Amino acid sequence: MRSLVAALTLMLSLCAQGQGGIVTVGAFLAECDRDREPCLAFVLGVIEGARHQTRERLQAQPYTFVLHGEPVCLPARWSSEEITTRVLDVLQKEPATHRFSAVSGVLYALSTHSECQQT
């Protein structure tokens, strides 16, 4: 776990230096091509950060958060690798997203796979 955190920190600092403090989707995808582990940690970190804001209200469904007022629910059966693969697939197919922040891109990509159930 410690090596994963160190790798993620390194990835973010390198990307931030070249982008004026913002890690873009393009830089994120390039880093993911070089090393998958920090990429996976970044995606899961974005999910946890988004979940933190709605944890109490949406606790019944794992991998659930709110984006622009709408719930985003990812299947609990997905592994962290599958989630990351799906995020990368969406972002690679949409080059218009490559100039935006990686956090925004990850949230957008996750929202395209939402399977929320009314609770």
| Per-position pLDDT tens, the chain of length 119 | 544 444 455 455 545 445 567 889 999 999 999 999 999 999 988 888 877 766 555 555 566 777 777 778 788 888 989 999 999 999 999 999 999 999 999 999 998 888 775 54
- The H or E element containing residue 65 is strand 64-67
pLDDT of residue 117: 59
Task: Give 103's Cβ-side CA count (13 Å radius).
Answer: 12
Q: How far is 43 from 113, CA to CA, in rounded Å?
A: 14
Helix (H, G, I), strand (E, B) or coil at 71: strand
pLDDT of residue 40: 92
pLDDT of residue 76: 80
pLDDT of residue 119: 45
> What global pTM score does this model have?
0.74
How many CB atoms are located within 10 Å of the residue 7 CB?
A: 18
